[in-house]
Amino acid sequence: MKREAVTKALARRIGADADADARTVAQAFASTWQQIADPLEKVIGRRGVSVLLDRALHLAAKQHAWLLLPSDPAAEVGPLHGLIAALESQSVAEGTQASGLLFESFTELLDTLIGKSLTDRLLGAIWIAPTPASAKKDTYE
């Protein structure tokens, strides 16, 4: 279920454009990652999010060896910049598949750390397609 939701969410962000390129995939990954990292940093801190991303990268690299990025524990930005550059150097299909696996691994690790219920509350909306009703802005008169 989670894998399917992640795949669909990435496909929506990448778009149905036949001209989509690796940079589009990397941008979709980055924007999705930002939606994930922002609320999680409030719960487990920036370092906690970075450590989980490192572990998810390690797990995903079993299927996509190019995800084994050199790490710098002293770096404040973590592996994100290197990951985006690596995604930009892959094919659209490879980048999309690896991104999906990475997000899936990350959320499974998070499930283990803080529980599935809290993970779903924090990140569930990211994987769900917006409905026309939810896309409208509330107006207050």
Selection from 13, 14, 7, 29 nearest residue 87 by Cα: 29
Residues 54, 124 contacting (CB under 8 angstroms): no
Q: What is the pLDDT of residues 58-70, one digit of tens each?
A: 999 999 999 987 7
How many Å apart are CA 48 and CA 52, to the nearest integer?
6
Instruction: Report d(CA 53, CA 37) in Å as an integer.
Output: 10
Q: What is the pLDDT of residues 87-135, one digit of tens each?
A: 999 999 899 999 999 999 999 999 999 998 988 888 888 877 654 444 4
pLDDT exceeds cutoff 50 at 141:
no
Residues 6+ apart with CB under 8 A from 48: 40, 41
Measured at the CA of 16, the angle between CA 123 and CA 95, to 5 degrees, comes to: 65
Q: Return the DSSP state at 90.
A: S
Cα separation, 41 vs 121, in Å, equals 15
Q: pLDDT higher for 76 or 82?
A: 82
Instruction: Write out pLDDT tens, residues 3-58.
Output: 677 777 887 888 765 567 899 999 999 988 998 999 899 989 999 998 999 999 99
CA 104 to each of CA 5, 60, 121, 131, 140: distance values in angstroms, whole numbers, following the listed order: 9, 9, 16, 23, 38
